[in-house]
Amino acid sequence: MLKVATYHQRVARHYNRRIKSRHISIGDLVLRSIEVAGKDPQCNKLSPLWEGPYLVTGVMKLKTFKLKDAEGKMLPRTWNVDNLHKYYK
């Protein structure tokens, strides 16, 4: 049991060293994943992976955001930070 616990600690330490946190705040422009959005049933390897940009208008929970599109229309659901990328102009 002790060897298993030390192995898990080493794996967790290695993973946490390589992970990069995403800092998204209200007012940032982001791209959202098309795969999670449920669009484009005919996806192939040349299809785009991200769509947007969208404006972050609110934080519902930790790492969960409300988005607004370019026309000012709110998106109907919240989006997790794992499905968003920061948009750089």
| pLDDT tens digits for range 40-61 | 667 778 888 899 899 999 999 8
Q: Give exposure, 60-88, as e/b (b: 16+ Cβ within 10 Å).
A: eeeeebbbeeeeeeeeeeebebebbbeee
Fold of 22-86: SH3 type barrels. (2.30.30)
pLDDT at 61: 87
| Paired strand residues for 65 | 59, 79
Q: pLDDT, tens digit, for every residue of 1-31?
A: 999 999 999 999 999 998 877 789 999 999 9
| Domain range summary for the chain, segments of one domain joined by + | 22-86
Q: Count the alpha carbons within 13 Å of 16 in the hemisphere toward its beta carbon.
A: 6
The pLDDT confidence band at residue 39, using thresholds 50, 70 and 90, is low
pLDDT at 40: 60
Peptide bond into 48 cis (omega under 30): no
